[in-house]
Every structure is written in C-alpha cells, then in structure tokens.
Homo-oligomer: A and B are copies of this chain.
Amino acid sequence: MSFVEHLQLAFPLIQAPMAGVSTPAMAAAVSQSGALGSIAVGASDAEGARAMIAAVRERCSGTFNVNLFCHRPAIADAVVESRWIERLRPEFEALGASPPESLTEIYRSFIEDDAMLAMLLSERPAAVSFHFGLPGAPAIRALKDAGIYLMASATNIAEARSIVAAGVDAVVAQGWEAGGHRGVFDPDAHDDHLGIVALTRILVRALDVPVIAAGGIMDGAGIAAMLDLGAAAAQLGTAFIATDESLADAGYRTALAGDAAHHSVMTRVVSGRPARCLANRFTSLGTEVPDLDVPAYPIAYDLGKALNAAAKARGDYGYGAQWAGQGAPLARAMPAADLVETLKRETERAR
C-alpha cells in the first residue's frame, strides 16, 4: 500500500507540525481537505495533547498526524545557564525587565514520557511523527501494534537508516532550507547541511520506505517537483504560517511579509537547538555565540521565551521565535483550506 493509500489522502501533502504555530483548527482544515494535517504536542503534557487530538476530531473526519519531540533529555549545567542568563541580562534590562534567576527544562522528551505514550495508544491517531530522534524500541513496537503509521525526520542518510532500522514506516527528509527546528538527532555532531533536492534523491535511491520531502516548498510547483524527485509527499510548514488558523502573532506575520523573509538564519540561541528563524534582533545576537555557550535544549528556550515575553509586553517583536524556511517570501495569507485547494490546483498545473 502506498503512503497516500495508507493514510487515505486525496493529495500528497503534509502540513508540518510546527509547535507554537499550528493549531487543531489548522490540522482539521488540512485533513478535511484531503491532505494530512498535523498537530505538535512536544510542548504539551499528555492531557494537553489528548485535548488537542479531541479538538481536531471535533472538526474533521480525516486522518491526521501527531508530532512528538524525541530529543535527548537536557543535561542541566548551572554554570552555562547562569552565564547565559548574564549574557542576555542587558537585553532584558533594555526592555525594562529582568531575566529569570534560573532556567528549567520546559518540555519533557517523548522518550521519557510514559503518560504521553499511554495516551497515544488509547487515542490512536492515524499517524505519529518523531522529531530530534526516535523513542525506544518498545514504544515504537507498541505504537505500530496499535495500528499507528510512524514517521521520523532525517537530515542525512545515517539518521534515515536508523529510522528505517527501527521499523518506522516513513522518513521525513528535512532539508537545510526548512524553517523551525532542524531535526538532527545530535545537535553537536557535524552537520552536512544537505539541501532538499540532494537529500531527497539520496534517500529515495537508498531506502525502501516512503520519503516525505520537507524544506523550502511553498506552492504547487514545489510539491510537483518533490513528487518528481520520488518523494511520496511534500511537507509544508512555512506556507501555513500566515493562514487564518495559525498562532503566529502580529510581529511574526509582519516579519514574514517583509524583508526579514529573505534572510532566515539557522541559530541555536533562541531554544538551544539549531532552528531556522527570520532574521531579527535575537538571531543577530546569536551570530558570534559559540555553540557551547548556549544551554541545552529546551533549557535555553526557557530564557528565549522569557525574553520574547518581556519584549512583547513593550510591543517589541524583535525577540520572537519567528521560525520560517527559506521559501518565506512566498508565504500567503488565507484560510488553510483555501491554501490546500490552491496547492492542489498549482500542483496539477505544474506537472
């Protein structure tokens, strides 16, 4: 059975999960339109995630995807963290605020969240996807035994092979162009920065499982191109940031529609892991920061979110986690269902 048949999709498109941007309403609109909507529950606990799943189901009858963060749990380092707080203190003070005195690991990794696993086995969404790595073999086996289709992000062939070896059904090939958090398993390992065309072709040629292409795709021409490359589907995130159902705030939407969209930056200063963000005051702060000075993900994100909150309280949007891919200048503001219909027409035309 092919990827689209397995997930009963009328159109080979996945709306990327995008924690903090996507909503159950967005996922439902996409799924109701025949593509695969996604929600991201990496920043939620099991009960919050269950409520999000229920909110999607209230709004649509189609299949959808639930995305989980499988990062190595953070190892706290009080020295690095307090230095990092001191480094950003002038930014807080310039905003009339003070940084927190200490930082916490604001998200629990799925690899140690038994309650989340139990919730998924009970709710049984059609698809579950993993980012930043993989859960353990027992979790993968249990999810598969529950009939859930599994996907995981890879940025290179070694990660992709480990995904296939773990029994995951499909690989999401995440190109260097992609917005938001780069799915690298180990953020401190060497990164070859593979673009989506080379990565997709290398994985399609080497693997026997469906490959979903992600990174820099904004329209039907891009979707058609990915299908030509042999991808089973295209995953678009940035294309959905400006939709009506997105949580993107006014500053984020303004940045996306302006010059910053042409200058996205891969940085780890916002969250502690490499992520592609529209160029703003926060990313410019990160230009000269050695990787080792930044606390572990998601501990650094605790401070990043506090800084953004302090700035927003003053009407300053320059410290937002304005994740976006390199295709950002092509983003369009419309309801998500209209965007899916537009993408269908464009894909047809391009091929």
* A209-243 with Cβ < 8 A to chain B: 215-219, 221-222, 224-226, 228-230
Give CA–CA (A69, B87) in the complex, Å: 44
List residues of chain B with CB within 8 A of the CB of A219: 201
List residues of chain B with CB within 8 A of the CB of A215: 195, 197
Give CA–CA (A325, B202) in the complex, Å: 13
Question: Any chain B CB within 8 A of the CB of A115?
Answer: no
Interface size on A, residues (CB 8 A): 41
- In the complex, the answer to whether A263 meets B192 with C-beta atoms within 8 Å is yes
- In the complex, the answer to whether B230 meets A201 with C-beta atoms within 8 Å is no
The segment out of A21-29, A247-255, A326-334 that lies at the interface is A326-334
Please give the distance in Å from A302's CB to the nearest CB on chain B: 29
- In the complex, the answer to whether B198 meets A216 with C-beta atoms within 8 Å is yes
- In the complex, the answer to whether A221 meets B216 with C-beta atoms within 8 Å is no
Question: Any chain B CB within 8 A of the CB of A350?
Answer: yes
- In the complex, the answer to whether B350 meets A228 with C-beta atoms within 8 Å is yes
- In the complex, the answer to whether B195 meets A195 with C-beta atoms within 8 Å is yes
- In the complex, the answer to whether B225 meets A197 with C-beta atoms within 8 Å is yes
- In the complex, the answer to whether B216 meets A197 with C-beta atoms within 8 Å is yes
Q: Which of B190, B197, B205, B230 contacts A177 (CB 8 A)?
A: B197
Question: Any chain B CB within 8 A of the CB of A144?
Answer: no
Question: Any chain B CB within 8 A of the CB of A43?
Answer: no
Give CA–CA (A229, B346) in the complex, Å: 11
Please name 11 pairs of A and B residues whose Cβ atoms are closer than 8 Å in the assembled complex, sorted by A: A175-B197, A176-B195, A190-B263, A192-B262, A192-B263, A194-B326, A197-B216, A201-B222, A201-B330, A221-B229, A228-B228
Q: Which residues of A contact B (CB under 8 A)?
A: 156-157, 175-177, 190, 192-199, 201-202, 204-205, 215-219, 221-222, 224-226, 228-230, 262-264, 325-327, 329-330, 350-351
